[in-house]
Amino acid sequence: MTSTAQPPAPEGRKAKPEHLGHVIFITAAAAMGGFLFGYDSSVINGAVEAIRGRFDIGSEALAQVIAAALIGCAIGATTAGRIADRIGRIRCMQIAAVLFTISAIGSAVPFALWDLAMWRVLGGVAIGMASVIGPAYIAEVSPPAYRGRLASFQQAAIVIGIAVSQLVNWGILNLAGGDQRGTVAGLEAWQWMLGVMVVPAVLYGLLSLVIPESPRFLISVGRYDQARAVLAEVEGKDVDIDLRVDEIQEAMRREHRSTFRDLLGGRAGLLPIVWIGIGLSVFQQLVGINVIFYYSSSLWQSVGIDPSSSFFYSFTTSIINIIGTVIAMSFVDRIGRKPLALIGSAGMAASLAVAAWAFSAKTGTGEDIRMPDTQGTVALVAAHSFVLFFALSWGVVVWVLLGEMFPNRIRAAALGVAASAQWVANWAITVSFPTLSDWNLSGAYVMYTIFAVLSIPFLLKWVPETKGKALEEMG
């Protein structure tokens, strides 16, 4: 909802914050939840085959265990907005940190398969909470002129978490003599892979103790002096702080704490802007990006690449992911959200189509699988190209848009619903891939290609551009 108290972008609001370095620290601390999100999502990649062997399970049961975390993600994403509105953004981060810690310990020492699945669900709840509270908090503490780049910290933290998890997995695998079930200090290698997450989880909790509460939450509970102090801290001395407080108050007077009921309206059941948010979240997953990060080691082994090389290629995709994210952070405020997403959609569609062609040359079954050298090389290049185009576009843009595009009165609830839809789509892709791969790996990638193509008209027709707008202008 647009505030009438002030024109949308006064000059002072564009000024460089006096303490931009401190704003970056605050943003990076909040984005630690994104790091854990990426780490926890990807670390299972190194343990897939060990879990299969340890519990003697087939592809379908294995997929259910891997995807169990995504059930928790949907729960955490749905509830995080409400929790954040009631007890604050910082308290929500601290709850997520505790859940991450407990999940890491439990996953490292499971008694049975159901036990492991349960701890992964708990970790998923933490991921879901972090996926909602990170973008919302960063959007609320960021100066408008820098908000796109600062919001990109969430995705940067996710991709760094993915890369670090792959590097840690590789290091632990080497300590265990290249065997995922090899013993290191009394535990199997895969158990260490899952348990090491305790370290960043505790760090996330500690960082949440030293960053300020969101000024919008502080105003919502009547703590105006603290809100002024935080606004001065993050927006700089050139901004009229009292006017900024008045703007936020004016916007909030027209609001109430968002609930699911507030999202209802229109002929399609939900408000159009909510459906757009859901569409962004779903398309981000239906292109199959998390197949790379959950199953890449198994994927490359399934087309004839040896285990040690498959771990190496998994790590290189993570590095490409980081490079693409840095590119997106550099351009998201310069060329806008939609142009960047359109570039990514076109690049992903082309890369996925090439990968589908390459995988069509796969021959053999079970452990006796082969691919011609040419197609094998093309598949690796196409997979890396796909990750690059995703990272420089949809990986960052979706999180930026979800933090910005909703009106203030429904932002928390709408972001929760959109993030939940993302996890449901993620779950569907994760559960279906092993079966699709066994049936027709090339066909699976044809399906992902179709979704990448369909994302282009979706962007052109329905997605709004939020570049340069203050949050109070979203209506």
For 267-276, what is each residue's pLDDT tens digit?
Answer: 667 888 889 9
* pLDDT bracket for residue 206 (50, 70, 90): very high
> Positive or negative, the Cα torsion across 132, 162, 23, 88?
positive
CB 311 within 8 A of CB 176: no
* pLDDT bracket for residue 421 (50, 70, 90): confident
Give pLDDT tens digits for 370-401: 677 788 788 888 988 999 999 999 988 887 88
Which residue type does 460 have?
A: L
Distance separating alpha carbons of residues 460 and 464, to the nearest angstrom: 9
* pLDDT bracket for residue 18 (50, 70, 90): low
Paired tokens of 182: 């090899």
CB 244 within 8 A of CB 137: no
Answer whether residue 185 shows pLDDT above 80.
yes
Helix axes 20-30, 32-43, angle to 10 degrees: 30
CB 97 within 8 A of CB 202: yes
Distance separating alpha carbons of residues 76 and 123, to the nearest angstrom: 9
Q: By C-alpha distance, which of 274, 252, 290 is closest to 402?
A: 274
CB 77 within 8 A of CB 426: no
CB within 8 A of 398, min separation 6: which ones? Answer: 280, 281, 284, 341
| Percent of the chain at pLDDT exceeding 90 | 21
| CA dihedral of residues 67, 71, 72, 73 (deg, nearest 10) | 80
More confident residue, 87 or 296: 87
Distance separating alpha carbons of residues 285 and 215, to the nearest angstrom: 32
CB within 8 A of 7, min separation 6: which ones? Answer: none
CB 60 within 8 A of CB 436: no
Distance separating alpha carbons of residues 469 and 404, to the nearest angstrom: 9
